[in-house]
Structure 1
Amino acid sequence: MSRRILVIDDEPGIRQALGQLLEYEGFEVKTASGGAEGISLYDSYRPQLVFLDVKMAGLDGLEVLKRLRQADPTATVVMISGHATIQTAVEATQLGAYDILEKPLDTDRVLVLLRNAFENRLLSEENARLRETIESRYEIVGRSFGIRALLERIDKVAATPARVLITGENGTGKELVARAIHRGSPRAKKPFVEVNCAAIPSELIESELFGHMKGSFTGAIADRPGRFEQADGGTLFLDEIGDMSASAQAKVLRVLQDGVVTRIGGSKPVQVDVRVLAATNKNLEDEIAAGRFREDLYYRLNVVPITVPALRERREDIPLLIVHFLQQLAARDGLPARGISEDALRRLQELEWQGNVRELRNTVERLVILASHATIGAPDVERLVGRRSAESPGLGGLLDIATFEEFKQAAERAYLLAKLRTFDWNVSETARALDMPRSNLYKKIERYALQRETVE
């Protein structure tokens, strides 16, 4: 990391003494005799730390501090003053100063402050790199019509407090959508807490969500907050909500209505401020009809519906996803950097991906590990992936759907979506072409959460 320091002070003696000390300690130093000169020098020199005098002719130090922090919110500025007051210290801190030192400067304190400031900056930069790595892991990749429409809807809903129900097949990226909504929301700096309702036994889901008190059941050896409390101020993502037990559904509904949770074995309600996002690969209307899901909870969660398209509906994104995964595997997981031939990309694009994006990523990882050469070729795909094309190119993955009822629904959804696109989402024209009452078409659009793609 660079070790550049800028000293802004109108006293030549201070500039000279501080400059000599810093250069002796191995820092690169530049000095400025006034505020305007210091601001100009900061822009070109880009120091890691600034020593800034509070009282100077012309622009005083507090005004310079304000302008530096406006231009660069990450600027690390240490104020120095011959007559610092509590009011000055408070104002400097409010404007973003890292610390304030009194004249005459104490050498030992200056050196301790430098060590702490640079360690703090190094930690901040490492955290920023870590955030970038995490965000790249959860990036939604694609340029297809469906993905651009999805991103547009995420942008619209993220800034609102609305609850969102995310639907889609396994492996399509429902969690990525939830994280994108959280990142774009006013709650972005607060916790994002995920609960996989299908992975937690029904007898433990309530403890997981609402917490428990010590001794409330066998194994409750200490008080424990639930996920609602952990997500206070932030976002709670209930994945696979369709697998939640009936009793837990009732309690979640009550939390959504009242904004309070009560731990198992406790009597004191705890106020929580949580935005709830839910996801499922099930048709919740069918689950309601079968008596397995509460209708009132469904309407509480389904304020804004978002459907994540299956990979077969966005085949043009497959090459982009493959390149993204190759880069991600090399950078984050330390696997060998690999290229991929056009023939291999084309072959992978032709295959059927029942596990959607998740299956595609796992396949790319397998190719990276086991491919014979630095560039993955079509023979590697044939050898390591095999042939898994659909029996009929016009049916995509519909022939692999388990039940006839699910097949009919998937086929109807795809058919209606194609017809609506054909007539540019003119519902009246589409209904007329289908010889269907317009009211019926509206109901089906709502049932299948069909979305008009408005992205250019």
Structure 2
Amino acid sequence: MALTNSKKFDQQKNEKILLVDDDPSLLRLLGIRLSAAGYQIESANSAKMALGILETFHPQLVISDLRMEGMDGMALFEKIRQQQPNLPVIIMTAHGTIPDAISATKQGVFSFLTKPFESQELLSTVQEAIRLQPQNSTHNTDKKADLWRKKIISRSAVMSSLLQQTYQVAQSDFSLLIHSPSGTGKELLAKAIHLASKRHQKKFTAINCAAIPEQLLESELFGHCKGAFTGADKNHQGLFQSTDGGTLFLDEIGDMPMSFQVKLLRALQEKEVRPVGSTQSVKVDVRIIAATHKNLQQAIIDKSFREDLYYRLNVVELTLPALSERREDIPLLAQHFLTVAIKSTTHKINGFSQAAMEILIRAEWPGNIRQLQNVVEQCVALSTEPLISESLINNALRNESAQLPSFQEAREQFERDYLAKLLKTTEGNVSQAAKIAQRNRTEFYKLLKKHHLNAESFRVDNNIPSQA
């Protein structure tokens, strides 16, 4: 099945499949078909034998007959779900047991195959099960590497490449700049860098530069002395000092006020800070990891970010991909958020329906991983069935798109609407519109250009030039 706006996943055909059936001939035939397709196969002639094989074989998929002597396919599925809830199971069934198979899919079985089935149907279902279901990443098998990146949930090639680069740069002590859209996990990557570095036993501190008022930012980072300003009733150690020897993560560095940027630059160059109200500087040893969703090179052109600070921070730049660029990770992330969310509910939820997972993989995700988490949490809160359905996902996505815009989006929308209303009121008279807005004409023209508004289009008679 094709995916919208994404490449088909590369199947390396080294996945392991466990086949379970008490019919030796069918078991042998399935093994031949799947082995020929490149899969690693283990076979079990009973559910009990299959449970033993699971302990050492670690398959990515189990295919089991529904009707077997002793423990049947559904009982085996229940055992597997208790031990490995993310492991997909396909049930094979005869025509007479189709209703049982349909019921099984509602309980969390990935799919069912009605015997006899064609080879292509078998292979397509197998490929879908492996593609759609969350499995542990096969990347970064080194245990030491897994330790630093264990909270980064991924199996995609693009993230594997990024993590290899991340581990390499973490071994140095250079400043880093992480650039990515909002909601992609910049702080998580910064923590991973810290854990992989020689500073891992020291403190990791994160601060959102956009969330701290300008007048408090210097005190928060550099500290202050008692009596330095109203309310400073005792000495305060800033984050640079409290993180000495460790890693300081400056999130949304692009929103840092220009007036403070020169002070930060000086602290980075001199490796010392001066608390507010003090006459003495204090030596500090911290590694700086900065992050932003903004285009800092454009900000330099716009005179909102210092070029010298940019090059001080951007010794090495890492770019986190948007969620739409790593769709292979969506099943894994969705299952993780589901596992976390169901701890807050008493309702039993086993997973996502196949159709629901398809929607998750195809969605645009402008809010990236943060949006995916919100959608899963909404679905858990509203679900009344063992599987999260297609309709629940669709409704949650619509609810997400209807949420309030970000502050920046709202401000830009207000500016655009306000300027358009001014031009309409003054019939395209820029001088009059600028006067009402209490802005000079040069600045007003810049605002019009920013929002792609043409004063001439607001003239009642377009043949008469607007006054400027």
TM tier, smaller: 0.5 to 0.7
Letter in 2 for 1:327: T
| Aligned twin of 2:97 | none
Letter in 2 for 1:219: G
**Gap change, CA 1:361 and 1:138, over 3 Å in 2:** farther
Shift of 1:335: 6.8
Aligned-partner Cα distance in 2 for 1:230–1:388: 38
Structure 1 residue matching 2:178: 3-state secondary structure:
strand
**TM superposition outliers: structure 1 runs of 4+ over 4 Å:** 135-138, 333-337
**Gap change, CA 1:371 and 1:258, over 3 Å in 2:** same
**TM value normalised by structure 2:** 0.52
Aligned-partner Cα distance in 1 for 2:158–2:254: 24
1:159 lines up with 2:171 in the alignment: yes
Structure 1 residue corresponding to 2:282, chosen from 270, 281, 303: 270
**Gap change, CA 1:251 and 1:182, over 3 Å in 2:** same
Structure 2 residue corresponding to 1:298, chosen from 307, 310, 313: 310
Aligned-partner Cα distance in 1 for 2:346–2:221: 37
| Aligned twin of 2:369 | 357
Structure 1 residue matching 2:249: 3-state secondary structure:
strand
Structure 2 residue matching 1:242: 3-state secondary structure:
helix
Shift of 1:386: 3.7
Letter in 1 for 2:369: V
Structure 2 residue corresponding to 1:176, chosen from 178, 188, 195: 188
**Gap change, CA 1:340 and 1:198, over 3 Å in 2:** same
Q: Structure 1 stretches of 5 or more lacking a match?
A: 1-134, 390-401, 404-456
| Aligned twin of 2:245 | 233
Aligned-partner Cα distance in 2 for 1:337–1:205: 46
Alignment of 1:329-348 (within 5 A): 329-330=341-342, 336=347, 338=349, 339-348=351-360
Q: Structure 2 stretches of 5 or more lacking a match?
A: 1-146, 402-411, 414-468
Residue pair 1:241, 1:279 contacting (<8 A) in 2 also = yes
Letter in 2 for 1:232: D
Shift of 1:350: 1.3
Structure 2 residue matching 1:288: 3-state secondary structure:
helix
Shift of 1:385: 2.9
| Aligned twin of 1:309 | 321
Structure 2 residue corresponding to 1:139, chosen from 138, 148, 151: 151
Residue pair 1:138, 1:176 contacting (<8 A) in 2 also = no
Q: In the comparison of the two structures, how many residue pairs are matched? A: 256
**Gap change, CA 1:337 and 1:150, over 3 Å in 2:** farther
Shift of 1:329: 2.7
Aligned-partner Cα distance in 1 for 2:305–2:226: 31
1:328 lines up with 2:340 in the alignment: yes
Shift of 1:309: 0.3
Aligned-partner Cα distance in 2 for 1:204–1:268: 20
Letter in 1 for 2:213: P
| Aligned twin of 2:273 | 261
**Gap change, CA 1:336 and 1:235, over 3 Å in 2:** farther
Aligned-partner Cα distance in 1 for 2:240–2:396: 44
Structure 2 residue corresponding to 1:148, chosen from 152, 160, 163: 160
Residue pair 1:239, 1:279 contacting (<8 A) in 2 also = yes
**Gap change, CA 1:336 and 1:213, over 3 Å in 2:** farther
**Gap change, CA 1:388 and 1:252, over 3 Å in 2:** closer
Residues 17-52 of structure 1: CA deviation (Å, up to 9, x unaligned) = xxxxxxxxxxxxxxxxxxxxxxxxxxxxxxxxxxxx
**TM value normalised by structure 1:** 0.53
Aligned-partner Cα distance in 1 for 2:203–2:348: 34
**Gap change, CA 1:242 and 1:380, over 3 Å in 2:** same
| Aligned twin of 2:18 | none
Structure 2 residue matching 1:193: 3-state secondary structure:
strand
Shift of 1:387: 9.3
Structure 1 residue matching 2:288: 3-state secondary structure:
strand
Letter in 2 for 1:251: K
Alignment of 1:197-236 (within 5 A): 197-236=209-248
